[in-house]
Amino acid sequence: MKVALGQFAVSRDWQENSVTCTSLMMRALAGEADLLLLPEAVLAQDMSDPDRVIQAAQPLDGPFLKRILAASRNNQLTTIMTVHVPVHEGKVQNVLVVVRDGEIVARYDKLHLYDAFAMQESRKVISGSKVPPLVEVAGMKVGLMTCYDVRFPELARRLALEGADVLVLPAAWVRGPLKEMHWEVLVTARALENTCYMVAVGECGPRNIGNSLVVDPLGVATVKAGEGAGLIFAVLDPARIAHARSVLPVLENCRFAPPELK
């Protein structure tokens, strides 16, 4: 599978962000990618206005995703991102969508809300209540996670035990002391402890770190982005997964039952 990682700074204007997303989709197609991963909360953000994501939230049949779905038609590129969707007055869900050929083929409502480091995502966001599904892309099974989920190894392990070859993580990883180190350590750990590929894309810009990367099943970072906007590519090889699981059979050796959502 060839993956594309599209890193950019989300603006407060959903129309501008839709142009950026569709442009990255076209560039990923031109690069013959099977899967494009975009950051978390791509609909709208404003560093000076924390409530902008709430004010700009749209339903899944709203104009933002209509543009994304239109751009996805008549090709087999799978595109993954998260958007904020209204639930009821003043509350939204952070919804990961998997888009392919004009349709939303899967969704995942973020389970772990970012109530940490003096931030409180749960103030306006309602958490999900279901373990995300696996999605098949180019013959590989992809498990879905969102940002803060990476700090909870139970979700990654559950997805790996269900058959995930690849774990994807759209994120908006906020800058702070040692936060870049946290990002790289956690992404690497989730790949290595589950002998999966980990594909993680972070929003860049003044608030967030960027630093998108792919880590292989033995903990090797195969590509990395810096702090600026860009599109990078990586090839994920099923033979590398098979090798990792033959020399490091942690999924077979584990003595614990599969994690359950409480």
3-state secondary structure at position 211: coil
pTM of the model: 0.97
Low-confidence ranges of the chain (pLDDT < 50): none
Q: Say which CATH class 2-253 falls into.
A: alpha beta
24-41 residue pLDDT tens: 999 999 999 999 999 999
Per-residue confidence (pLDDT) for residue 47, from 0 to 100: 78
Per-residue confidence (pLDDT) for residue 52, from 0 to 100: 87
Looking at the annotation, which residues are catalytic?
40, 110, 147
Share of the chain above pLDDT 90, in %: 95
- Count Cβ atoms within 10 A of the Cβ of residue 24 and give its class: 0-12 exposed, 13-18 middle, 19 or more buried: buried
How far apart are the C-alpha atoms of 213 and 245, rounded to whole Å?
A: 21
Per-residue confidence (pLDDT) for residue 54, from 0 to 100: 85
Q: Where are the domains of the chain?
A: 2-253
